[in-house]
Structure 1
Amino acid sequence: MARYADDLALAHVLADTADTISMSRFRALDLRVESKPDLTPVSDADTAVERALRATLSRSRPRDGVLGEEFGTQGGNGDRQWVIDPIDGTKNFVRGVPIWATLIALMDGDRPVVGLVSAPALGRRWWAATGHGAYAGRHQAAATAISVSGVRRLADASFCYSSLPGWEQAGRLDAMLDVIRECWRSRAYGDFYGYMLVAEGAVDAMAEPELSLWDLAALIPIVTEAGGTFTDLAGRPGPAGGSALATNGPLHAGLLDRLGTPGSR
């Protein structure tokens, strides 16, 4: 943990900055929202948060690269790269729904080694670093260690998923509906939140068929340090696969069999 202690502390500083900016714009009457080329929304809060975090990183970690959702890749002399999603859940943010967060990760090579998720409208933050464990609370001084559940059967499991149209586009809607019918409870919490609930042991699995690196990188250390398993839908660990299945561990293989990419098992 000593190797990444300073980086995790910096992630909290970055999150404090992000929270101040995003909360000042949440439910603001003059919030500006535009559509990106992929027709997803971007608000002035997204861009303001990312600019502020990049400015801090350029001063504090000038040798590290930065990848952000809004402004792409910047600099870097080695294997270390910070990955930022300034507001994950922008559609919630612009509609006044409080389930949104800033995601901050540090990649060392192809491994996410630090992850922090800050959801200021929920008054909650989650964080982890490799070998350190996973924690949640309002801030570092009010931290509680978190861990995944011990549920072993899908019939007893609470399952999260992203929107059904995404699974239909991925050609996996029937498989998803079969899982929903088999499990004890299902809810489409979406975005970062389902993964954090897995890490806390409040739900047992979360799956999404299509994601970008900035959607994933911060989540992986938190889930895995909480004792969970995180792969793509082909069963490969890490954030490069563009999809995600996060579970408490015992449920993972069975869900991969049902939801995994055709031909991957």
Structure 2
Amino acid sequence: MTYEKELEIALLAVQRATILTKAVYSSHAKGTLSKSDTSPVTIGDFGAQALIISSIKHAFPEDEIVGEEDADDLRKNSSLRDQIWELVQAAKLEDAEAEEKIGGPIKSVDAMLDAIDSGNSQGGRIGRIWALDPIDGTKGFLRGGQYAVCLGLLVDGVPTVGAIGCPNLPVDDNAPLDPSIGADADDKEGKGVLFGAVKGQGATSRPLSKGALQEGKKIYMKPLDDTKQATFCESVESGHSSHGDNAAIAAKLGITKPSVRMDSQAKYCSIARGAGDLYLRLPVSKTYEEKIWDHAAGAVIVQEAGGELADSEGKPLDFGLGRTLKGNKGVIAAPKGVFPEVIKAVKEVLAAKL
């Protein structure tokens, strides 16, 4: 299969969802709640999930979806529900043909809530399952940093199609990646990128728009022969990745540049287009399990741009075990040429802690 339709629908669905997230991002009241895991949830998360799942179910009604949110809180909170419904109704692609491909506007509040609740798949190794993170990097979204709208298709447990919208990344693939990019972000002129990839077909970037898809261009990871010259990305939140271990690995590799800390799968996209080189996400506890929606889309994009991924032990990421990467610890991404050297350094640093 070429997965041409899947990629187009995924890109359009993500692009429409970013119209909503950008509207929320620029507002002052983001309507935060607190989930049981204490991470913040915004009206943007719920609205983006409703829009994307509605699009997927319109085009591929039999496919399953693993989504991060459910509508329980909205069914109890009419004020928040009404805010989200208003945003969902306003988020329309300006191109009528593109809007029709993803099903047009959601018809009712109940349809919106049902769409959100349709992200209840438990995942697995059989069939077509979409992994959705409606706003990846919610804390970055709230503080004015980087965030991403992420959608990946798993086919029999293998990441096969990926689409990621990064409203706050510069459109220019050659724009330098510096430490300020994760802190003082905005979505003004010259910002907003839509990344896409299909397994075996390469990866692309294109400017985000409010209508039809813009022309895409191929992206590639930067050739890297000497890790001393590398720029590495890591999470802003120390609860997501061990900054101390990452620093020790960087030192072992001879990296002297400061790390670039940013939220979300914008890190995957940044290294995929050659703005950065390495992505280090070392586990902060023995019990933490990475969520598949935090990595599925980014994994396809990085691999198709010429990179490799593994966990901290060098094992391939296994997306077929449910809603989490329970068989893996941490995530490492790097260009193929230096990947063995990076994994060796990771293993040595972690072994020294035992």
Aligned to 1:231: 310
Offset at residue 231 of structure 1 (A): 1.3
Aligned pairs (5 A) from 1:197-212: 197-210=270-283, 211-212=290-291
Contact 1:227 1:249 in 2 (8 A): yes
Aligned pairs (5 A) from 1:15-164: 15-71=14-70, 72-74=119-121, 79-97=127-145, 99-120=146-167, 121=187, 122-139=191-208, 140-163=213-236
What letter matches 1:25 in structure 2? V
Contact 2:313 2:329 in 1 (8 A): no
Q: Distance in 1 between matches of 2:278 and 2:313?
A: 16
Offset at residue 184 of structure 1 (A): 3.6
Q: How many pairs align? A: 258
Deviates more, 1:16-25 or 1:139-148: 139-148
What letter matches 2:199 in structure 1? T
Instruction: Render the CA deviation track for 1:56-75: whole Å, top value 9, x for unaligned.
Output: 22222111100011135249
Distance 1:220 1:46, change over 3 A: same
Instruction: Render the CA deviation track for 1:42-67: whole Å, top value 9, x for unaligned.
Output: 10110111122222222221111000
Q: Distance in 1 between matches of 2:351 and 2:10?
A: 37
Q: Distance in 1 between matches of 2:273 and 2:13?
A: 23
Instruction: Render the CA deviation track for 1:162-186: whole Å, top value 9, x for unaligned.
Output: 2473478x6x83x422233321423
- Identify which of 294, 319, 337 aligns with 1:250: 337
What letter matches 1:137 in structure 2? R
TM-score, normalised by the number of residues in structure 2: 0.67
Distance 1:14 1:262, change over 3 A: farther
Q: Distance in 2 between matches of 1:176 and 1:167?
A: 12
Instruction: Render the CA deviation track for 1:69-109: whole Å, top value 9, x for unaligned.
Output: 11352499961001100001111211233x11100100001
Q: Distance in 2 between matches of 1:147 and 1:242?
A: 26
- Identify which of 164, 167, 176 aligns with 2:246: 176
Deviates more, 1:134-143 or 1:246-255: 134-143
Identical columns (%): 26
Offset at residue 229 of structure 1 (A): 0.6
Q: Distance in 1 between matches of 2:228 and 2:123?
A: 47
Q: Distance in 1 between matches of 2:26 and 2:215?
A: 27
Q: Distance in 2 between matches of 1:102 and 1:256?
A: 29
What letter matches 1:257 in structure 2? K
Q: Distance in 2 between matches of 1:208 and 1:58?
A: 32
Q: Distance in 1 between matches of 2:340 and 2:239?
A: 22
Q: Distance in 2 between matches of 1:124 and 1:76?
A: 28
Instruction: Render the CA deviation track for 1:6-48: whole Å, top value 9, x for unaligned.
Output: 1001101211221121112113123200111111111011011
Q: Which has the larger radius of gyration?
A: 2
What letter matches 1:128 in structure 2? A
In structure 2, runs of 5+ residues without a counterpart are: 71-118, 168-186, 284-289, 320-324
Greater fraction of residues in strand: 1
Contact 1:166 1:209 in 2 (8 A): no
Deviates more, 1:145-154 or 1:252-261: 252-261
Contact 2:11 2:194 in 1 (8 A): no
Aligned to 2:116: none
In structure 1, runs of 5+ residues without a counterpart are: none
What letter matches 2:36 in structure 1? P
Q: Secondary structure at the match of 1:151?
A: coil
Q: Distance in 2 between matches of 1:75 and 1:35?
A: 23
Q: Distance in 2 between matches of 1:159 and 1:30?
A: 33
Q: Distance in 1 between matches of 2:268 and 2:37?
A: 24
Contact 2:128 2:153 in 1 (8 A): yes
What letter matches 1:146 in structure 2? I
Aligned to 1:5: 4
